Amino acid sequence: MKFDFKVIFSTAVSVLALVACSGSPEPQTEPVPETSAVSSSSLDSSAVVPVQEPKSALPASYKDIQFPEYKYVAPYPKDYRVEIAPGISGYIVSDRSLPLVNFSVYFEQPRTPLALKDEAATSMMGGLLRRGGGGGVSAKALDDSLEFISAGISSSVGTFTASFDIDCLSKDFKNMLALSKLVLTAPAFDKDQFEIMRANFLTAYDRRYDTPAKVLSALRSKVNYASNPRLWDANADDYKKVKVADLKRMAQGVYADGRIVFALSGDVDKDSAVAMLKEFFESWNASVAKNVKKEDKKPFQEPTPLSFVRKPGIYVVDKDISQANISMNQPFVRRPHADYYPAAVANFILGGGSFTSRLMNRVRSDEGLAYSVYSSVGNDYRDTAMVTVALQTKVESVEFALKLIREVVNEFAENGPTEEELAQAKKSLIESLPSLFDSPESIALVFAKGELLGKSDDHYLDYVKEINAVTADQVKAMVKKYFDMDKMTTSIVAPVSKLESIKPFTVIPQDSLEFRD
């Protein structure tokens, strides 16, 4: 049989064309409104609307972009606050988007060791409350259990508060509460974990001055602060002498006395969480009462505020490096204080505003003397804070860099800010406020810590008003008052032999930077 391939090909093409046509959607036409079905003779020519050209979607220049007025109202603490019992309060921020829970509990426990020998035990004790197991649960069993359900418990003990944190899936939260109570109210301080912890502290002590930044931090404290038990530094011998019995002695009552403030966020129902936490804290207090021994004399004392030695000048630690590390400091204020907000605006313009700041423009951009140069004002509710001007620069450039910084500060103190600088500083500080509340966890933690510090419910609403109220004259006064270069200590880590041009200065031996009395 013979096949006519031309006929076959022609037929196939026709079939494909038909299939293609039958599979194509019919053209869609816009339905005509009934009101448009009118003869042209009946239209009044005066009623015809002229056709307008569509507006351009993009402005001709970025300068023509219009932004809506910035409006942000911070969350209000009372909307999240709950009271569980007298002396026990907290903040619950519900977010059901993920099956996760974050729970942080703060116990107000102001304490410092009575003797230097106990500083090492206190330093180690905070982490070992969790890592050492307890309540009949071994350290290994605790780690395995937490790893199996992808959960975490952490503990810490500071000068003013002791705390613990739980991170877990919401379905495991109730069991995690029971586990944390079991371990933390009757800590075992496992000996193997104790030795691991001690080895870590010994290594950290041996490497405490490995970097110039660490040396500078120690030098800055040494030349600014008077000796205080809160500043004591344990050394290698102190850590080697610590025994498990010392940790148990220092841990007595750490989660027992004082008020309690908590932060709970994540996949929780507020009413159910309140009922659960009432039960938890009742059983917690009962467990603490059962396990805490009554001591005739507590091995710690109330902390005292830090005080300054106030001896302006240049202080140097000799270190053979090519980049000098420099920090200039002066006492500031303890919050709340009327000077804080105008000083914060002044600081932003001087050196806190990154590439918009005067120090950055003059020292880095104009002269190329430093990769980073900045200023800061301390934010402290328990002690008088410090103002800081800091940078790193080549050792050969130290004299010139210090001279430039003095010129920038003096010019700012003399003439004050421009209108543009003042407006930009206010705008930037206010528009950074939402970053504090960028997650449910952040909201709960900010409010819990704020309550411990005594911040008012209106604190973050007042923040915007206070910043907006700052005047140019106030900024000028703050620079004169708190950035007076003649009242600052200047701490430098660099080779002494290359700093002849900035004499006189005092050389501080590196091995004398610790506070031991």
Q: What is the DSSP string of 27-72?
A: PP-PPPPGGG---GGGS-GGGPPPPPPPPPSS-SSGGG---PPP--
Q: What is the per-residue pLDDT across 159-196, written as a single tens digit (0 to 9) for each?
A: 999 999 999 999 999 999 999 999 999 999 999 999 99
Residue 260 has pLDDT above 80, yes or no: yes
Q: Coil, strand, or helix at residue 250? A: helix
Judge whether residue 417 has pLDDT over 80.
Answer: yes
| 308 CA to centre of own chain | 26
CB 182 within 8 Å of CB 137: yes
What residues make up the domain containing 359? 313-512
| pLDDT, mean of residues 409-431 | 97
The residues pairing with 373 across neighbouring beta strands, listed in sequence order, are 391
H or E segment and range at residue 328: strand 323-331
Do residues 469 and 346 both lie within one domain? Answer: yes
User: 209 with 285, same domain?
Assistant: yes
Give 259-320 as a 3 state SS string. CEEEEEEECCCHHHHHHHHHHHHHHHHHHHHHHCCCCCCCCEECCCCCCECCCCEEEEEECC
> Does residue 339 fall inside a structural domain?
yes
Residues 286 and 418 in one domain: no
Report the distance separating Cα 432 and Cα 354, nearest Å: 14
Mark whether 369 and 273 lie in a shared domain: no
User: What would the mean pLDDT of 483-505 be, rounded to a whole number?
Assistant: 97
Using CA atoms, how far residue 269 sits from 83, 103, 117, 401, 465, in Å, is: 16, 14, 47, 57, 34
How does residue 37 score in pLDDT terms, banded at 50, 70 and 90? very low
**Statement to judge: residues 264 and 194 lie in one domain:** yes
3-class DSSP state of 485: helix
Report the distance separating Cα 378 and Cα 443, nearest Å.
22
Higher pLDDT: 254 or 219? It is: 219
Contact 367, 404 (CB under 8 A): yes
Residue 48 has pLDDT above 60, yes or no: no
> Are residues 285 and 373 part of one domain?
no
Look at residue 33 and tell me if it is in a domain.
Answer: no
In a domain, 292, yes or no: yes
Q: Give percent of the chain with pLDDT exceeding 70.
A: 88
- Better pLDDT: 172 or 21: 172
Residue recorded with tokens 């800590």: 187
Q: Is residue 36 part of a domain?
A: no
| 56-100 pLDDT, tens digit each | 578 889 888 888 877 889 999 999 999 999 999 999 999 999 999
First to last CA, the chain: 114
Q: Is the pLDDT of residue 297 over 90?
A: no
Q: Are 388 and 375 in contact (CB under 8 A)?
A: yes
156 and 265, same domain (yes or no)? yes
Domain boundary among 281, 301, 321: 301
Question: Does 224 lie in the same domain as 87?
Answer: yes
Could you tell me if 104 and 155 are in contact, meaning their C-beta atoms sit under 8 angstroms apart? Answer: no
Q: Are residues 294 and 326 in the same domain?
A: no
Instruction: Assess whether 389 and 436 both reside in one domain.
Output: yes
Q: Which of the listed residues 251, 272, 301 is the one where a domain comes to its end? A: 301
Is residue 499 situated within a structural domain?
Answer: yes
Say if residue 371 is in the same domain as residue 249. no
What domain count does the chain have?
2
Contact in structure between 475 and 349 (CB atoms under 8 Å): yes
Mean pLDDT for the chain? Answer: 89
Query: In Å, how far are 152, 162, 179, 278 from 255, measured between CA atoms?
Result: 19, 7, 15, 17
Do 177 and 96 touch, CB atoms closer than 8 A? Answer: no
Predicted pLDDT at 66: 86
Q: Are residues 270 and 405 in the same domain?
A: no
In a domain, 396, yes or no: yes
Decide which of 256, 274, 301 is a domain's last residue. Answer: 301
pLDDT band at 517 (very low <50, low <70, confident <90, very high): confident
In-domain check, residue 41: no
Asked if residue 354 is part of any domain, the answer here is: yes
Please enumerate in sequence order all residues whose Cβ is within 8 A of that of 355, keeping only pairs 6 or more positions apart, or say none.
361, 365
Tens-digit pLDDT profile for residues 119-164: 999 999 999 999 999 999 999 999 999 999 999 999 999 999 999 9
Fill in the amino acid letter for 97. Answer: S
CATH number (domain holding residue 320): 3.30.830.10
Is the whole-model pTM more than 0.75?
yes
